[in-house]
Structure 1
Amino acid sequence: MSRLEERYRLVLRLLPAGYRQEWEDDMVAAFLDSMDTGDPDTTAYLTDYGRPSLSEVASIVSLAVRLRLGGADASPRSYAWGEAVRLATLMAMLTHAVMVTASIAVALWLTGKVAWLPAPAPELALTPTGNAWHTAWNLAGYAWLPAYVALVLGHRRVARAVALLAVVPPAVTTAVEQAAGVAPLSVAPWAMRLVDVLLLLAMAAFHHGVPPVRPRPWLLALPIGILLVPVPLFVVQANTPALRMLDWPGLSCAVVTAAMAVHLAVRVSGRASRTLPWSLALTLLGAATLALRAATLPDHRGQAERGALAALASLEVVAVLAVGAPLAVLALRALRRLPASPAAPGAPCDSTMGVP
């Protein structure tokens, strides 16, 4: 086996084992034929030193995503994982959309633009910046709202492009501000940027072979989420200084814990085909919030209330684990009961991308 073939087979390991067993040799033969230039010296050189092109690797990665996070014609396990990733992506993007939508109204209030509301406390008031470019650059994070709407309505490419606009400017702003000393060096902004990048990559699970998203419940979830989470939270935090220690990772832990608890309470009455993807999705979100909480703990060291913050963070971790561990066990047990082979052609598909 040549080094070129070894490198190509290494990339093919991204594909599921069953698919590789059936198609790997044919794919390798076709790839090696495509690398034959007709010149023996050039072909021999490529055999020893050549590598699969970026386009070839990207094609295999795309195929691996479609197979592992499959649609209606995939195996039940792949379909369950695919639905779970898509549901987790929708819930995470919904959270972004809810928070940025509410933050627009909050920012208008804090800057005194909403005259019919009571004036904010002096320590909460914001002073508008005079730099229009800096303001526009910072507003790029609000692009999560149109990205979410576009994804729910089925415009996948538009959603990815708009989400990229929401990811890049905040990352550049964080790097510039920390390098210039305008903002202190901290882990939290970079942890948030990493979450955004992973969310952008997870949108690849919405490929052409998956069932469409049911738009109505996900669009209705946007105003309902605003009324249930950010508005009450801001009102409480504005009047209770102790609750201002609940940062974004802590809030994520609280929301995910509540969602997992509600799901566990109603899981028994639901059909397995519908509840399993939601269980897996919430398990993924629980793991992500735990990782985010753990990554941002070093930021508490230099703060005056580090003892209280550490205690609160420990409570958040315990809450997520207490609810998430039983849910993960139940989800994995149900997943192992699903057949690993594809369903029969024409088998009905029970999409779960509506309301849990």
Structure 2
Amino acid sequence: MSRLEERYRFILRLLPADYRQEWEDDMVAAFLESMDTGDPETTAYAADYGWPSMSEVASIVSLAVRLRLGGADAPPRSYAWGQAVRLATLMAMLTHAVMVTASIAVTLWLSGKFAWLPTPASEWAITPPSSIWHTAWHLAGYAWLPAYIALVLGHRRVAQAVALLAIVPTTITTVVAQATSDGPLTVSPWAALFIDVALLLAMTAFHHEAPPVPRRPWLLALPIGILLVPVPLFTIQATTPALRLLDWPGLSCAAVTAAMVIHLAVRASRRPSRTLPWSLALTLLAVTTLAQRTATLPDYRHQVQHATLTTIASVQAIAVLAVGVPLAVLAIRALRQLPPIPAAAPRPVTSTE
């Protein structure tokens, strides 16, 4: 076996084992044939030092996503995981869209645009951007709203492109701020960026074989979410100083914990197979939220109220674990009861150059 074949077979490990057992040899034969240039010396050199092209790797990754996060015709377990990732992605995107939409209204209020509302306290005053470029840079974060709408409407690539507009400026700002700051490095902005990048990659689960997103409920969830979460939350935090100790990871822990409690209550009256994708999706969100909460704990070391903040954060993490672990156990049990019946495996398409 040549080094080139070893490298190609290593990349093929991304595919499910059942699929590899049926198609791996054919895929390897087709790939090696495509690398044969007709020149013995060039072919021998490629066999020792060549690597699969980026387009070849991309096609394998795309196939692996479609197989592991399957659509309606996929095996039950693959379909359950696919739906779970899609639901978790939609919920995370909805959260972004809700918060940025509410922040637009809050910014207008703080700027005095809503004369009929009470005047905000002086401590909530905002500093206007110094230039039009700073304004555009700040508005880039609002791209999560059109990205969410595009994803719900079935335009996955558009959603990814628009979400990238929100991620890139934030990344540059974080790098510059961390590099030029005299204070200690903080984990919170990097954890948030990591989650946003993971969210961008998770959108690949909305491939052409995935079932379409139910538009009406997910579009209605946007205004409902704004009325139920950020508006009362901001009002309470503005009037209750103690609640200002809750940061974004803490609010995420509270929201995910509440969602899991509601889901467990609803799950008790329904068949586990029907609620399994939601159980898995909430478990994924719980793991992500818990990881973010844990990773950001060191940021409290240099704050005046670090003991209080650490205690609050620990309670939040314990709450996520207390509800998330039983939910994860129930989800895994229900997943194991599904038959791992492989669907008719699609014939692989190997790119040739």
Q: Same fold (TM over 0.5)?
A: yes
Mark the CA change 1:325 to 1:192 in structure 2 (over 3 Å): closer, same or farther.
same
Query: 1:146 aligns to what?
Result: 146
**d(CA) in 2 for partners of 1:343, 1:222:** 36
Residue 181 of structure 1 and its aligned partner are, at CA, apart by: 2.4
The yes-or-no answer on 1:313 pairing with 2:331 is: no
My pick for the range that moved more, 66-75 or 120-129, is 120-129
CA displacement, residues 269-289 of structure 1 (integer Å, 9 cap, x when unaligned): 123332000000000000000
For 2:123, what is the secondary structure of its paired residue?
Answer: coil
Residue 73 of structure 1 and its aligned partner are, at CA, apart by: 1.3
For 2:342, what is the secondary structure of its paired residue?
Answer: coil
CA displacement, residues 208-246 of structure 1 (integer Å, 9 cap, x when unaligned): 001100100001101111111111111111111111010
* Consecutive aligned runs of 4 or more in structure 1 exceeding 6 Å deviation: none
**d(CA) in 2 for partners of 1:238, 1:137:** 26
**d(CA) in 2 for partners of 1:165, 1:270:** 41
My pick for the range that moved more, 269-278 or 181-190, is 181-190
The yes-or-no answer on 1:253 pairing with 2:253 is: yes
CA displacement, residues 294-319 of structure 1 (integer Å, 9 cap, x when unaligned): 11111100000000000000000000
Q: Confirm or deny: 8 A CA contact 2:273 2:334 kept in the other structure.
A: no
**d(CA) in 2 for partners of 1:4, 1:287:** 38
Query: 1:281 aligns to what?
Result: 281
**d(CA) in 2 for partners of 1:274, 1:89:** 19
Query: 2:293 aligns to what?
Result: 293
Mark the CA change 1:149 to 1:184 in structure 2 (over 3 Å): closer, same or farther.
farther
- Number of paired residues? 345
Residue 173 of structure 1 and its aligned partner are, at CA, apart by: 1.2
After TM superposition, the structure 1 = structure 2 runs for residues 6-17 of structure 1, keeping only pairs within 5 Å, are 6-17=6-17
Residue 342 of structure 1 and its aligned partner are, at CA, apart by: 3.1
Residue 184 of structure 1 and its aligned partner are, at CA, apart by: 6.0
Query: 2:32 aligns to what?
Result: 32
CA displacement, residues 124-175 of structure 1 (integer Å, 9 cap, x when unaligned): 1112123110121121111000000011011112111111111111111111
For 1:126, what is the secondary structure of its paired residue?
Answer: coil
My pick for the range that moved more, 34-43 or 87-96, is 34-43
Residue 344 of structure 1 and its aligned partner are, at CA, apart by: 8.2
Q: Confirm or deny: 8 A CA contact 1:177 1:183 kept in the other structure.
A: no
Aligned-residue sequence identity (percent) comes to 76
The yes-or-no answer on 1:69 pairing with 2:69 is: yes
**d(CA) in 2 for partners of 1:27, 1:245:** 56
**d(CA) in 2 for partners of 1:117, 1:247:** 25
My pick for the range that moved more, 72-81 or 126-135, is 126-135
After TM superposition, the structure 1 = structure 2 runs for residues 122-201 of structure 1, keeping only pairs within 5 Å, are 122-181=122-181, 185-201=185-201
Query: 2:47 aligns to what?
Result: 47
Residue 23 of structure 1 and its aligned partner are, at CA, apart by: 0.2
Aligned-partner residue type, residue 263 of structure 2: H
**d(CA) in 2 for partners of 1:344, 1:146:** 37
TM-score (norm 2): 0.95
Consecutive unaligned residues of structure 2, counting only runs of 5 or more, are 346-353
My pick for the range that moved more, 12-21 or 136-145, is 136-145
**d(CA) in 1 for partners of 2:182, 2:133:** 17
Aligned-partner residue type, residue 97 of structure 2: A
**d(CA) in 1 for partners of 2:79, 2:246:** 36
Residue 112 of structure 1 and its aligned partner are, at CA, apart by: 1.8
For 1:211, what is the secondary structure of its paired residue?
Answer: coil
Q: Confirm or deny: 8 A CA contact 1:15 1:63 kept in the other structure.
A: yes
Q: Confirm or deny: 8 A CA contact 2:71 2:79 kept in the other structure.
A: yes
Query: 1:3 aligns to what?
Result: 3
Q: Confirm or deny: 8 A CA contact 2:85 2:202 kept in the other structure.
A: yes
Aligned-partner residue type, residue 265 of structure 2: A
TM-score (norm 1): 0.95
Query: 2:335 aligns to what?
Result: 335
After TM superposition, the structure 1 = structure 2 runs for residues 254-269 of structure 1, keeping only pairs within 5 Å, are 254-269=254-269
Residue 183 of structure 1 and its aligned partner are, at CA, apart by: 7.9
Mark the CA change 1:311 to 1:201 in structure 2 (over 3 Å): closer, same or farther.
same
My pick for the range that moved more, 186-195 or 276-285, is 186-195
CA displacement, residues 66-108 of structure 1 (integer Å, 9 cap, x when unaligned): 0000001111000000000000000000000000000111111
**d(CA) in 2 for partners of 1:61, 1:242:** 48
Consecutive unaligned residues of structure 1, counting only runs of 5 or more, are 346-356
My pick for the range that moved more, 311-320 or 269-278, is 269-278
**d(CA) in 2 for partners of 1:298, 1:228:** 31
Q: Confirm or deny: 8 A CA contact 1:35 1:43 kept in the other structure.
A: yes
Query: 2:351 aligns to what?
Result: none
Q: Confirm or deny: 8 A CA contact 1:73 1:342 kept in the other structure.
A: no
My pick for the range that moved more, 267-276 or 25-34, is 267-276
Mark the CA change 1:183 to 1:205 in structure 2 (over 3 Å): closer, same or farther.
farther
Query: 1:351 aligns to what?
Result: none
My pick for the range that moved more, 268-277 or 211-220, is 268-277
Mark the CA change 1:119 to 1:254 in structure 2 (over 3 Å): closer, same or farther.
same
